Chain A
């Protein structure tokens, strides 16, 4: 099955700096890569996603890049703010052809702390 690795596990940045979180996946047939943000005591919430036919996608201060050849994708947060502090999860969805289309495999999470 799909295996998703995520780095770093913790990340501390100063307010206003950029933060980058990286993930790799194993199934070359995966074609959907969402990112979820989880605040303390809450469930994960989708913040951005990208599909395999797109190399980069941006939404205000958040951007995601995808390199299918290398099987890795990254989350970039610019101009970080204290409210960006949370745990971020990357995920990959397997191929419909192999029955994985509805099964998201999550990375292990990155605890981001934005310091004042």
Chain B
């Protein structure tokens, strides 16, 4: 199984801050990576796929990058509605695994 490790597990930030979340795969996944946002009591929402492609309707302040085993999600200017938990997910292997999540909280 490919393990996905996110860091940090949580962070506190202020509105307007630039936020970066890292996802590391236990082996190379050839950009087969998606990022999801989940708010409390709600289903996850797809933000990016193929590591860096923005899903339709997602604000451009979200961006993704990376290659091989290391990937990042960046929020360029954190907005009040962005406080949530973020998950990465690889779809390179038969077992599509998620990271453990990164909770973005208000400072």
A and B are partners in one complex rather than unrelated chains: no
Q: Which A residues form the contact surface with B (CB < 8 A)?
A: none
Interface residues of B (CB under 8 A from A): none
